[in-house]
Amino acid sequence: MNKKPLILGIESSCDETAASLITENKQGIPIVLSNIISSQVEVHKEFGGVVPELAARSHIEKIDWIVKKAIDKSGRKIKEIDAVASTAGPGLIVCLSVGLSFGKAFAKAIDKPFIAVNHLEGHALSPKLNSKLNYPYLLLLISGGHTQFLSVNGLGKYKRLGTTIDDALGEAFDKTAKLLGIEFPGGPQIEILAEKGNSKKYDLPKPIFNKGGCNLSFAGLKTSILKITKTIKTDQEKFDLAASFQKTVEEILYKKTQIAFDEFGKLNNSKEKIFVIAGGVAANKNIRTMLVNLCEENNYQSIFPPIELCGDNAAMIALVGLEKFKSEQFDDLNYPAKPRWPLDEDAIFLKGAGVQL
């Protein structure tokens, strides 16, 4: 009987120090043996956002312990590990360097292959951790740093259909929360406040709503929120603004996703119509419900990672490592950290560049 690969994944792209071990069963379905995440919320709370130098220092202090805990919890031994996969980008370079350097050193110490992983590819493949997922599929990646529609055609094969030309949706949630006086990380709290508010109270802008294909824009929405918060005097007005913001985001995603469905259909003749939603904002229950309903209207199958795997984690990094290990895609130990690393290497990276509005 052939031994199934055992992969150690390490994640440190921003403010989560994480390690995971995964393997697969006889049918080739991934099995998460451990997934340890250390949050830095308390470290950054007083600053209202992530401070790169403090985040990197915290990674350095915790990464050895986190990796050890992941190995212990997996019930496996170090000598059984077949490869080490570490996030190499995109992210904060001082943070990336910690996990990347540790992963390289660990791989060298146990004389096993090293695999550099694109953090976004981790999100893109993360639903494979709980779903049977066939290529191609349409991906909506919505996180703190990225908002993109991509055609996922295979491992390492991505075609960007649309992107935000300015701010990411997760950033818009966090900035709105901060303006409403919610402590960091405030993005997830918007949905809770919205339940108490009137979503029709404020008429908020929807930039490039009727143009730009499935490209998106959130800067103008944030500016409008800033202006309104200066006039708010009661908690109810805060609730109403949160509800109006949530509703506006849902309307933007609804329309832009419909356009992405059309674009994806033009590129692929696959009988299966699969729509994957991944990234931290995919944990928003209202957005999930809206997108599930939209998929039903358009005969698409909607697939989400488990809620606990929507945010940054190492299981998704280990998963990419597993896929690359099976196709022998290994990297040298001098592989650099990449603070900017688009999934679609052919796409123009600069914000707003190449977008026909």
Please report, rounded to a whole number, the percentage of residues in the chain having pLDDT higher than 70.
97
* Model confidence pLDDT, tens digit, residues 90-129: 999 999 999 999 999 999 999 999 999 999 999 999 999 9
Q: For the chain, what are the domain ranges?
A: 7-127+309-326, 135-304
* pLDDT at 1 > cutoff 50: no
* pLDDT at 46 > cutoff 90: no
CATH node for 135-304: 3.30.420.40
pLDDT at residue 314, rounded to an integer: 98
Please report, rounded to a whole number, the percentage of residues in the chain having pLDDT higher than 90.
80
Report the chain's mean pLDDT, rounded to a whole number: 92
pTM beyond 0.95: no
* pLDDT classification of 353: cutoffs 50, 70, 90: very low
* pLDDT classification of 333: cutoffs 50, 70, 90: very high
C-alpha torsion 122→152→134→118, nearest 10: -20
* pLDDT classification of 348: cutoffs 50, 70, 90: low
* Model confidence pLDDT, tens digit, residues 155-196: 999 999 999 999 999 999 989 999 999 887 787 889 999 999
pLDDT at residue 188, rounded to an integer: 82
Picking from 16-30, 37-51, 138-152, which range would have the lowest pLDDT averaged per residue?
37-51
* pLDDT at 308 > cutoff 90: no
pLDDT at residue 349, rounded to an integer: 46
Task: State the SS3 of the chain.
Answer: CCCCCCEEEEECCCCEEEEEEEEECCCCCEEEEEEEEEECHHHHHHHCCCCHHHHHHHHHHHHHHHHHHHHHHHCCCHHHCCEEEEEEECCCHHHHHHHHHHHHHHHHHHCCCEEEEEHHHHHHHHHHHCCCCCCCEEEEEECCCCEEEEEEEECCEEEEEEEECCCCHHHHHHHHHHHCCCCCCCHHHHHHHHCCCCCCCCCCCCCCCCCCCCCECCHHHHHHHHHHHCCCCCHHHHHHHHHHHHHHHHHHHHHHHHHHHHHHHHHCCCCCCEEEEECHHHHCHHHHHHHHHHHHHCCCEEECCCHHHCCCCCHHHHHHHHHHHHCCCCECCCCCCCCCCCCCCCCCCCCCCCCCC
The CATH number, out of the four listed (2.30.40.10, 3.40.190.10, 3.30.420.40, 3.40.47.10), of the domain defined by the range 7-127+309-326 = 3.30.420.40
